[in-house]
Homo-oligomer: A and B are copies of this chain.
Amino acid sequence: MKKNTPQILKGFRDYLPQEQIARRKILEKISIVFERFGFVPIDTPALEPLELLKGKIGEEEKLIYKFKDLGSRDVALRYDLTVPLGRVMGLNQDLPKPFKRYQAGNVWRAENTQRGRFREFTQVDADIVGSSSIIADAEVIATIKSAYQALEVGDVVLKINDRRLINLALDELAIPKSKHVAFMRWLDKLDKIGEKKVIDGLKSDGIKPETFKAYEDILKSKEPEFFKDLFSMLKDLGVEDIKFDPFLVRGLDYYTGTIFEFVLKSNTEFGSIGGGGRYDGLIGSISGADMPAVGGSIGLDRMFAALKEAGLIAPQTAAEVIVLNLDAELVGDYLRIATNLRDSGLDCEVFYEPSKLDKQFRYAEAKNIKVAVVYGKDEVKLGKAGLKDLEKKSQVLVDLENLATEIKSMLW
């Protein structure tokens, strides 16, 4: 490395081929599932007017990347994909509703990197705008769940709660509206800091400690009736392993109804691998037209980390075949052979430099390539080519016109 060469920015990552191939496949699988449920993709800019992002997400607003552009406009890198969706709905009021869109895109947050957090990550969101039907809630949840099944991440548990139910309990406990947010913030920390510290926290905010237990009792008593329809619909959509969690609140300020999160059954410690909820006020507050909405999000990078931890990211192959370079005079033949193999649907490389065979084999191995085509003066005379299986180290001689067929039989 050259001295003083600029490094990658803290909190940012490169994805090298092994990882990026896997990420692309994950993204493709999620897209297929989302489209299966009738969601269609949109894309929005990385930069938005700062004004759009302000006052939407609560205290995390301080993490927004913001600056003045060359025209002195206040701009910001998008923090999530939901607020831009509000802008899109405002600018395109003629979109047929409910508008079911998904979006895969990066978001940026100036997180504290010392806690292992990243500042750029990829989210895949599915949202339904313009329906207040509970069927929409059920469908969003089933969509996210189906994506996990397609990704074969193993069993997942759906944790569910409802902001309306929480508010009902807080009203019943006569906790003033001004303290609702504080109450929920402490609840949100239960997994991390434990019951005792949550109760201490409530006390520090002037909330009676006994409300903690009372809150749990109220929610548990109301749960069966409250979730009857939603749980029945989820069952009809094939969603199992549902766990009502009175302490699930989710961070964002804008949720107004159903809230949910998915965790890995085999590794609940790993935490949320996705979630979402109903937010009936946000889109209208941006677009100016009242539009109820419900949505869910899969964090691609957390998903990727989970799959990696579970050993489910297989080593990836670059090309399937390499045409070795034995003789500079035969380059034309190598290129024609490669063209034929590619036309027959094989991913194929040609080795460019006429290096020692040893070096060429090492390159093929390093790249996980399965088959090498060996074609030198001897093979030309025979009108055949050698095919080397780079795993089994075996080699066969094959007529040139049968090359593609033979390679496919070796690969598949």
Contact = CB atoms under 8 A, between A and B. Distances in A.
A314 interface: no
B37 A131 contact: no
A303 interface: no
B45 A13 contact: yes
A37 B5 contact: no
Contacts of A1: 90-91, 93, 287-288
B347 A35 contact: yes
Contacts of A2: 90, 286-289
Interface in A307-365: 316, 318-319, 322, 331-332, 335-336, 338-339, 342, 345-350, 352-353, 363
A47 interface: yes
A213 interface: no
A145 to B, nearest CB: 11
Contacts of A67: 67-68
A289 to B, nearest CB: 8
Contacts of A73: 9
A8 interface: yes
B16 A95 contact: yes
The number of chain A residues touching the other chain, given as a range, is 35 or more
Interface stretch (A48-56, A191-199, A372-380): A48-56
A52 B287 contact: no
A90 B5 contact: yes
A131 B142 CA distance: 49
Interface in A31-81: 31, 35-38, 40-49, 51-52, 65, 67-71, 73, 75, 77
Given A2-B288, A5-B286, A36-B345, 19 more contacts: A1-B287, A5-B288, A8-B87, A9-B48, A15-B43, A17-B42, A20-B40, A20-B41, A37-B349, A38-B350, A40-B316, A46-B120, A47-B65, A47-B108, A69-B110, A98-B352, A128-B352, A135-B350, A236-B335
Given A17-B101, A91-B14, A349-B100, A342 B36 contact: yes
Nearest to A122: B43
B14 A43 contact: yes
A188 B135 CA distance: 59
Given A5-B286, A6-B87, A335 B237 contact: yes
Given A14-B45, A96-B363, A335-B236, A36 B5 contact: no
A21 interface: yes
Interface in A92-126: 92-93, 95-98, 100-101, 106, 108, 110, 119-120
A96 B38 contact: no
A92 B16 contact: yes
Contacts of A233: 331-332, 335
A313 to B, nearest CB: 15
Given A6-B51, A352-B136, A88 B38 contact: no
A408 interface: no
A131 B5 contact: no
A243 interface: no
Q: In this complex, which of A136, A322, A349 has the most chain B Cβ atoms within 10 angstroms of its Cβ?
A: A349
A21 to B, nearest CB: 6
A186 to B, nearest CB: 27
Given A87-B5, A335-B233, A339-B238, A38 B318 contact: yes
A331 B331 CA distance: 65
A366 interface: yes
